Chain A
Amino acid sequence: MNKVEFAQVDETLYHERLENGLEVYLLQKKGFSKTYATFTTKYGSIDNHFVPHGETEAVKVPDGIAHFLEHKMFEKEEGDIFQEFSKQGASANAFTSFTRTAYLFSATGQIEENVGTLLDFVQNPYFTEKTVDKEKGIIAQEITMYDDQPDWRLYFGMIENLYEEHPVKIDIAGTVDSIQDITAEHLYTCYETFYHPSNMMLFVVGAVEPEEMMDFIRTNQASKQFDPPAPIERKYPQEMKRAAIKERTLEMAVQKPKVFVGVKPERLDFQGKEMLKHELSAQLAFELLFGRTSDFYYEAYENDWIDESYSFDYSIEEGFGYALFGTDTTVPEVFAEQVEKVFDRTIEKWSFGQDALDRVRRKRIGFFLRAMNSPEYIANQFTRYAFNDMNLFDVVPVLEEIKMADLQQAFSLVSAKEQRSVFTIVSPEKAEQ
């Protein structure tokens, strides 16, 4: 077991790569009574085209299958796994993103039992046609619920605008139609390909004794048989640089129109420390340009282009990413135009000094240290970073070494006009006017 100390944030991380390939990380939080654990596979909604384990030809699977599989992991021949966690005083959950499927629990007692349950239920699939069909009604309701949420529609509307080919444009849960095609056999194919321990990570944070916990996990894993690790061949289509759709409007009942300006990054092949530096640099650049202390924000607020819903964000993964700037507004065209103006102006001239950089850097460091109080943040973010060869605990050192030139460089990759897009939601009555 390796031990790494991060003196700056006063945390110690324990790590071991087990014989079956599983990456295990443990972080002891002093004074906490809660333990939070995530067991995550590097498999999400974008992995819909791949060569199944033990085969040679690539297959395409129905939209929404990673999320469907996540739901079905909880059902076993002897019943629902939520029941087991409840008995052990743990509250369990799971989520599927574009790139990951995570199973998790939080508990304040019986930690070994709960970690055991977590490992065992995810490593023992049980799918039948009957149980698969039964789940379709539940997931259809979940999809319908999201369909009624304008903010979710806005988000996916923008991703569809930016991407022409990449499966990131497909809703994580699929559609009510697409999930009808899912069979137990599909689920086994996906499971066997993506749930090998060598494609997974276990993170346990909170009231854990590292030595004992690692022993327990080692023993649990050694008692199970797995095939030798094999590389996974995933197929992603070639994606063009520019935004696929420049502008689009959806009609849906909303109190006030909603608008997103999105920007597709020019480079989507970052990994490791370079990726971390790029992502943080671009985030700092956008904070300077669009944050609450920016000229843009001041003007937008004074002129009522934005309201309390205004927000912006930038994140990248391998193969896709997006910067999003959005608000509810009565003047979506004006908002979009003004955001684009900031981009055009900044492409011509970068006008920030060192003190501005130092300020947004400090703000970001403060945010990071606050987040270190949250076991959930640590486990989920650590896993996301690690799957991209980054280290969460590099955030502060990298922030400290970022220079103004890094911000300019990052901005230049996420700003060109052809990479930008606008998506708007307006009420049907409003659209007719």
Chain B
Amino acid sequence: MFQTRKLAAGVQLHVHQTAQFKTINLSIRFKGKLTEQKAAARSVLANILQHSNAKYPSQMAFRIALDDLYGTSMYIDSAKRGNGHVMNLHAETVNDQYLSEQGVLDQVFAIMQAALLEPNLEQGLFKETIFNREKNNVKQRLESLIDDKTRYAQHRMLELALPGHPASIPSNGTIEEVENLTNQLVMDEYRSMLEENEVEIYIVGDVDPEEMAAKVQQYFPFEGREIPGKMPALVLTKPAQSHVLETAEMKQGKLHMAFYTPVTFRDAQFPVMQVMNGVLGGYAHSKLFTNIREKESMAYYVSSSYASHFGLMFVLAGIDQEMEQKAVKLVLEQLDSVKAGDISDTEMMQTKALLINSLKESLDSARGQIELDDQYTEMAGGLEPERLIENWQNVTKEDVSEAAKLLSLEMTYFLSGKEGSDDE
């Protein structure tokens, strides 16, 4: 799908020339190490770079320039991948052919260049007022997490189960680390990102790969950098507590269970775990959905998900506050039935069909193509949809039940309303 070329050591360009979309998507990805401090610094950095730059020194001037380019959308987001952190500058612009105007793409390159390489500086640091305000904005964003009870409960469970582990480090850092940031620390992270991070550049759209390579080298002349060796496998340590009950002011109870598995993204057993997760709770035909929602009417949502980079599987359910024990019992019963090999041909067929469908669907969006290709770079053979599909097809019920047996429940976390809080 993508034509890849190396522009410098540690800097690669991937172009997918296609007429499938009416827009052109560009993504510049910086891959660094994940620590709480770096994640916090990169989060504030993303906000600063999105605010303004030397060429467009106010937020208004910057936004006007983007609006003038047919509302070109541009944003920076962060994601973690194992113990790595990916900062992604993404732009999407309309293909010239739908416009009366030409040369829009060149202007988009120029504006991305301004955003990334020409920051709004004063005395070698970011503008102090902007730094302070964006630091505060990120801090407030992290603080508001508690208003989203499902995300908050998941965050708390990970924080308690695996403190300091990449699995529990939020991709935007922690409140504490954001508070500790100085302008200099963010500047250091910015320099390190540009000079030391591995860079993957993606372009998807009706474009000429040769021309894109020339433009990228013109606008983003990144120099070579050292490519880090393969990151060591992450070790999951046992949580200090296996059962935690916390309260917040809310009505519904949020059940979050964490299971460990030795199988990660890099293992040959990876496709087996994907099927196993699908059979247990990944879909509306799954055991969890069918039994806990449809049969018992206990939940509106109940599902499992597999965090393959860490070797974690989660089960989440929103239930009545009194129902925790019953729900845990039912979840474990469903898992036991998978372990016992109590899996129908239909369940296997449905799960494989939906895994294949979701892969193919992802490939129908430019963003999905980029994400998948980038994720699979670290897997031998890269992104080959046909091979992934074949791998799933080869999974047997016995494989699934063996994979289920490798799971260990390490933490049960329940967030519920405060008792008698109405009287307070």
Is there an interface contact between B363 and A145, defined as CB atoms closer than 8 Å? no
Count B interface residues, CB 8 Å. Answer: 69
B297 touching A134, Cβ below 8 Å: yes
Which of A163-171, A251-259, A260-268 is found at the contact surface with chain B? A251-259
Chain A proximity mask over B120-162: 1 for CB below 8 Å, otherwise 0: 0000000000000100110011011011110000000000000
Query: Which chain A residues lie closer than 8 Å to B71 at the CB level?
Result: 362-367, 370
Smallest CB–CB gap between A72 and chain B, Å?
12
* Residue from A91, A141, A148, A363 in contact with B149 in the complex, judged by beta carbons closer than 8 Å: A148
Interchain CB contact under 8 A, B70 and A366: yes
Bound complex: CA A365 to CA B22 (Å): 12
> Which chain A positions have C-beta within 8 A of B293?
138
Q: How far is the CA of A297 from the CA of B136 in the complex (A)?
A: 17
Indicate if B309 sits at the interface (CB-CB under 8 A): no
Tell me the smallest distance from the CB of A34 to a CB of chain B, in Å.
4
Contact B283 A86 (CB under 8 A): yes
* CB atoms of A255 and B70 under 8 A apart: no
* CA gap between A92 and B293 in the complex, in Å: 16
Residue of A nearest to B249 (CB): A253
- Residue B285 contacts which of A32, A83, A106, A367 (CB distance < 8 angstroms)? A83
- Chain B residues positioned under 8 Å from A90 (CB to CB): 357
**Chain B CB within 8 A of A10 CB:** yes
Cβ of B354 and Cβ of A293 under 8 Å apart? no
Within 8 Å of chain B (Cβ to Cβ): is A433? Answer: no
- Contact of A141 (CB < 8 Å), options: B136, B285, B300: B300
**Closest residue to B47 on the A side, CB-wise?**
A308
- CB-based nearest B residue for A173: B300
Q: Closest B residue to A287 by CB, please name it.
A: B67
* Nearest CB on B from A278, distance (A): 21
CB distance from B354 to the nearest CB of A (A): 6
| Interface assignment of B114: CB less than 8 Å from any CB of chain A | no
Q: CB of A350 within 8 A of chain B?
A: no
Chain A residue numbers with a CB within 8 Å of B180 are: none
A255 surroundings in chain B (CB, below 8 A): 140, 143-144, 146-147
The answer to whether A307 has its CB under 8 Å from any CB of chain B is yes
* Contact indicator A145/B297 (Cβ below 8 Å): no
- CB pair B67 A106 closer than 8 Å: no
Q: Interface segment, B2-10, B13-21, B185-193, B402-410?
A: B13-21
Q: Which residues on A sit within 8 Å (CB–CB) of B98?
A: 8-10, 369
- Whether B143 lies near A256 (C-beta < 8 A) is yes
Closest to A93 in B: B284
**A369 and B23: CB pair below 8 A?**
yes
* Min CB gap B26→A, angstroms: 13
Q: Does A409 contact B (CB under 8 A)?
A: no
> Which A residues lie within 8 Å of B300 (CB)?
138-139, 141-142, 145
Tell me the complex Cα distance, A49–B303, Å.
Answer: 37
Q: Which residues of chain A in 320-343 are interfacial with respect to chain B, using CB atoms and an 8 Å cutoff?
A: 328
Q: Judging by beta carbons under 8 Å apart, are A89 and B301 in contact?
A: no
CB contacts (< 8 Å) of B289 on chain A: these are: 82
B343 interface contact, C-beta 8 A: no
Q: Does B361 contact A (CB under 8 A)?
A: yes
By a CB distance below 8 angstroms, the chain B residues around A298 are 58-60
Q: Does A345 contact B (CB under 8 A)?
A: no
A235 in contact (CB, < 8 A): no
Asked if A80 and B301 sit within 8 Å, CB to CB, the answer is no
Q: Mark A94-130, 1 if CB is under 8 A from B, else 0.
A: 0000000000001111000000000000000000000
- The reply to whether B297 and A136 contact each other, CB–CB distance below 8 Å, is yes
A297 to B51, CA, bound (A): 13
Residues of B within 8 Å of A12, CB to CB, are: none
Alpha-carbon gap, A150 to B133, bound state (A): 25
B140 and A256 contact, CB distance less than 8 A: yes
Task: For the complex formed, measure the closest distance between the CB of A18 and the CB atoms of chain B, giving whole angstroms.
Answer: 28
Instruction: Check A10 against B22 for contact (C-beta < 8 Å).
Output: yes
Residues in B with CB closer than 8 Å to A293 are 60, 63-64, 67
Asked if A60 is at the interface (CB within 8 A of a chain B CB), the reply is no
Give the nearest-CB partner of A206 in chain B: B364
Bound Cα distance A203, B161 (Å): 47
**A87, A89, A309 pick with most chain B CB within 10 angstroms:** A89
Interface membership of B207, Cβ < 8 A = no
Q: Are B22 and A362 in contact (CB under 8 A)?
A: no
Contacts of B364 in A (CB 8 A): 32-34, 206, 375
Contact A83 B70 (CB under 8 A): no
The answer to whether the Cβ of B250 comes within 8 Å of any Cβ in the partner chain is: yes
Q: A108-B357, A148-B251, A359-B67 are in contact. List 13 more A-B contacts (CB 8 A).
A: A10-B98, A31-B20, A85-B284, A252-B249, A253-B249, A293-B67, A297-B60, A307-B137, A359-B68, A363-B67, A363-B70, A369-B70, A369-B94
Residues of A whose CB lies within 8 Å of any CB of B are 8-10, 30-34, 80, 82-83, 85-92, 106-109, 134-139, 141-142, 144-145, 147-151, 206, 252-256, 291-293, 297-298, 301, 304, 307-309, 328, 359-360, 362-367, 369-370, 372-375
13 contacts between A and B (CB under 8 A): A32-B364, A86-B351, A87-B349, A108-B357, A148-B251, A253-B250, A301-B59, A308-B137, A359-B64, A359-B68, A362-B69, A366-B94, A369-B23
Which residues of B does A touch, CB under 8 Å?
Answer: 18-23, 58-60, 63-64, 67-73, 92-94, 98, 133, 136-137, 140-141, 143-144, 146-149, 248-252, 283-285, 289-290, 293-294, 296-301, 318-320, 346, 349-351, 353-354, 356-358, 360-361, 363-366
Q: Which 7 A-B pairs have the closest CB atoms?
A: A366-B71, A137-B297, A366-B70, A31-B20, A363-B71, A89-B353, A253-B249
